[in-house]
Structure 1
Amino acid sequence: MKRTVYFLLLTLFVACYGNTAEAQIWQKIFKKEKPKKKAPVKKAPGKKTPVAKPFKKREIDYPVSVKKGRYRVDVLVPLYLDELVQNDKVTFKGKLPAKAMSGMEFYEGVKLAADTLTSLGFDIDVYVHDIQDANNTPAFLSKNKGLDSSDLIIGAVQSQQIPAFASFAKGGRINFISALSPSDADVTDNPYFTLLQPTLQTHSERIMTALKNKYPRSRPILLHRNSVTVDQSAYKYLTGVDSSMKKLLVNELPTRQQLKSLLDSNSTNVLIASVVDVVYAEKLLKQLVTLFPSYRFEVYGMPSWTTMASLKNAGNYPYMAIYITAPFYYDASTPAGQALANEYKKAFNVGKPGEMVYRGYETMYWYAYLLAKYGTIFNTEVDDNGGAPFTKFDVKAKWDKDNNLYYLENLHLYWFRYSDGSFTVTP
């Protein structure tokens, strides 16, 4: 059975938290920078000095934007409805299964945004596609024209699903927003594909820029692994910016002897750890503290470290400041944060919204704002983030060295700083 829905029945979510035993699916609920001057180059006698052509990004040839009285937005999200709801009854007891949690919370945020937009007079049809359903695969939706009428596609999809949806969006000149995955899945030459979650390369380059500005005369120590593919990628991106760093291979936890020759007991030791796995990264940090308890460290880690619970507890990492880049930060104490939390509780009769609720909400709300203000082809206006309730997105076209377009990517990153259990955030 086709599981393309406008929105799920609210009682499904109540059931997810143990407030009711049954839930159903409704097919339709909601409708309604200047260049620096270079020193002159002296010419050798009798020879001409070749003049390098300045790099100039070419213009992207977008079609004329169409403004409508009513827009259709298609949301692709993993909900596992066929497993969770059978014969109009939920198949689980108590808490929602972990594999469905992030998708369901993202959906909840989308629904709250749609409700808010409707109350503000924005006419929008929102179709939600459970991409875990065999009838909502890229191939099926393309063959059956399930997305042909869409004005915008928002995808909470994984890397393996990106190429097909990105290709469809390019062919139909429909903007496709990949909201969760940091992978570009090797998509190129696609002006209709946007990565809202910055790539690992973007995070790595931002780390190296920060270190160059803060420690222009020092050589940081890079702790790296070559036994894990994603860590190898991070190492490549970091050393691509600066290959002169001191390096230590840490496929196994480093010994005191290996580290001591690199460290200084009289000054702050600056380290970068291109270790994405949070469990191993935590072991690495604890090893530093155990072997050198009185040494001072500044450690720059990978974006995945924001989920490391031990960073939030005082006493775990004394004399150590840990810096992490992150694209999103939601302060529940702000007026916008409080308003969302209140609406969430009213709508779903549960506690505080999780991060995915915020992400679903702001993705839907900001892009609907762009649609309403600029029409279907809003790509040249994405510097307008006035409608973004939480994150001030910085979406830019990404180019290679030969002036070829890859796609659009959000470059906005916060700096998270953890120090002995305290936590600060800076843009």
Structure 2
Amino acid sequence: MRLLFVAVVLLLGFRQSASAQENIPVQSGIKKPVLTVLIPLYLDSAFDASGQYRYGKQFPRFMLPGLEFYEGVQFAIDSLKKENVSLELNIVDTRSVKTIYDVLKLPAVTDASLLLSYVSNNEIRPLAEYANRKQVPFINVNLPNDGGVTNNPYMVILNSTLATHCEGMYRFLQLKNRTSTIIVFRKTGPQEDRLKNYFTEIEKSTSGAQLKLKYVNLPSNFTAANLTPYLDSTETTMCVAGSLDESFGRNICMQLAELNKTYPVQILGMPTWDNIRDFEKPEFKDLEIFYSTPFNPQRNDPVSEQVNTHFKDNLYARPSDMVFRGFETTYRFSKLLVELGPNIATGLGIKKYRIFTDFDIQPVLLDKKTQQLDYFENKKLYIVKKVNGAVVTVF
């Protein structure tokens, strides 16, 4: 019921806003830049023609990420208004029309100076092509992939790609275990081969000492007995989970947590582990679990406390990561847009207007030989350690 209450409050808040458009006062005669936020809100699915909520006492979870991101956008709008920032900000429900191509015809999009988008996989390429054609920056705030887009200096990926995560993990291991053998437990599969290839390419170009990586293929029904031969009772063994499969990650951590009593061990996992709540359970007690994330997970600063208090007092809930992401991305890129105006595309990497995350937006050249700029990407990664539910940033 709490989830339903929060969701309906957010939905009603959006429906009652001023036509999903926010205008901050500006001096007469000065044209305001336009930032348009694209979010899948599914409003037409949630309400019938008379404005009645369709789902009764139920709430479809697929609607929640977009609504949470929208709530974060509202926090940013409140902050921008308090600062009297000259900006027109539009919010478009991308599920209010049939296709993404219909979205691209909307005035809120065609008039935009910058597009901030919570996207699905099949929307990346159309949005990127539109942005490149119109020379308007397109910020992908949620998906960690490029959608096959190349030669596009107007696309920015904030949720770092797997290749970037592997680079960050490798650097972390160089600092922590530069001489010891690191055991990479993996299963067979094309995804796992891609991960291994990333590490191999990083090894070829690293400026530091190469890591001693030992790859171990595990059977599908592996047990602790399959792991023990690679562990040492006299010193801590650093392991890496070489698969994005969350079930594989849970299983290997559960086995290692039991072995940790005899064989001291640490494990570095994948960015997908940020979604695994099971690691707080007793089965994983005392196991030091590390993983990478491009968004600052710490929520102990004054602004975070204000957001937490708002949710606790008004929605009787805790804000998700998407709330914070909606807040910080809308605020940061709004401020940059107002400051840089038509030069915004060349200044997206300027390190200003930070709220939570230290974004490091860098050009990506997929083919080093041609030196072609394919897109921009956030290269900042945080390495998190989680033990018994406590989360600490260590790198």
After TM superposition, give the deviation of residue 271 of structure 1 in Å.
0.8
Indicate yes or no: 2:197 matched with 1:236: yes
What is the DSSP-based 3-state SS (H/G/I as helix, E as strand, rest coil) of the residue aligned with 1:221?
strand
- State the alpha-carbon separation in 1 of the partners of residues 217 and 322 from structure 2: 35
What is the DSSP-based 3-state SS (H/G/I as helix, E as strand, rest coil) of the residue aligned with 1:217?
coil
- State the alpha-carbon separation in 1 of the partners of residues 13 and 307 from structure 2: 26
CA contact (8 A) 1:330 1:337 kept: no
CA contact (8 A) 2:298 2:393 kept: no
Indicate yes or no: 2:112 matched with 1:122: no
CA contact (8 A) 2:295 2:357 kept: yes
Distance 1:330 1:291, change over 3 A: closer
What is the DSSP-based 3-state SS (H/G/I as helix, E as strand, rest coil) of the residue aligned with 2:257?
helix
Structure 2 runs not aligned, ≥5 long: 24-29, 204-210
Aligned to 1:328: 295
What is the DSSP-based 3-state SS (H/G/I as helix, E as strand, rest coil) of the residue aligned with 1:417?
strand
Runs of 4+ in 1 over 4 A off after TM superposition: 17-27, 143-146, 342-346
- State the alpha-carbon separation in 1 of the partners of residues 14 and 337 from structure 2: 33
Aligned to 1:289: 257
Aligned to 1:412: 380
Aligned to 1:260: 228
CA contact (8 A) 1:77 1:156 kept: yes
Distance 1:260 1:337, change over 3 A: closer
- Residue by residue, what CA displacement relative to the aligned partner does 1:377-425 show, whole Å, maximum 9, x if unpaired? 3243334333121111111111131212121101111111123443311
Q: 1:237-386 counterparts in 2 under 5 A?
A: 237-242=198-203, 245-290=213-258, 293-313=261-281, 316-318=284-286, 320-343=287-310, 349-386=315-352
After TM superposition, give the deviation of residue 81 of structure 1 in Å.
1.3
Aligned to 2:208: none
Aligned to 1:177: 139
Aligned to 1:46: none
- Residue by residue, what CA displacement relative to the aligned partner does 1:177-210 show, whole Å, maximum 9, x if unpaired? 0000001111111111000100011111111122
What is the DSSP-based 3-state SS (H/G/I as helix, E as strand, rest coil) of the residue aligned with 2:194?
helix
State TM-score, norm by structure 1. Answer: 0.80
What is the DSSP-based 3-state SS (H/G/I as helix, E as strand, rest coil) of the residue aligned with 1:76?
strand
Bigger mean CA deviation after superposition, 81-90 or 335-344: 335-344
Aligned to 1:91: 54
After TM superposition, give the deviation of residue 214 of structure 1 in Å.
2.2
Distance 1:423 1:19, change over 3 A: closer
What is the DSSP-based 3-state SS (H/G/I as helix, E as strand, rest coil) of the residue aligned with 1:89?
coil
- State the alpha-carbon separation in 2 of the partners of residues 125 and 328 from structure 1: 27
- State the alpha-carbon separation in 1 of the partners of residues 299 and 388 from structure 2: 23
After TM superposition, give the deviation of residue 233 of structure 1 in Å.
2.7
Aligned to 2:362: 396
Q: Report percent identity of matched pairs.
A: 25
Letter in 2 for 1:240: E
After TM superposition, give the deviation of residue 155 of structure 1 in Å.
0.7
Q: Say which one has the larger Rg.
A: 1
Indicate yes or no: 2:63 matched with 1:100: yes
CA RMSD of aligned residues (A): 2.8
Indicate yes or no: 2:131 matched with 1:164: no
- State the alpha-carbon separation in 2 of the partners of residues 350 and 90 from structure 1: 21
- State the alpha-carbon separation in 2 of the partners of residues 385 and 133 from structure 1: 35
CA contact (8 A) 2:254 2:283 kept: no
Distance 1:341 1:124, change over 3 A: farther
What is the DSSP-based 3-state SS (H/G/I as helix, E as strand, rest coil) of the residue aligned with 2:343?
coil
After TM superposition, give the deviation of residue 313 of structure 1 in Å.
4.3
Indicate yes or no: 2:14 matched with 1:28: no
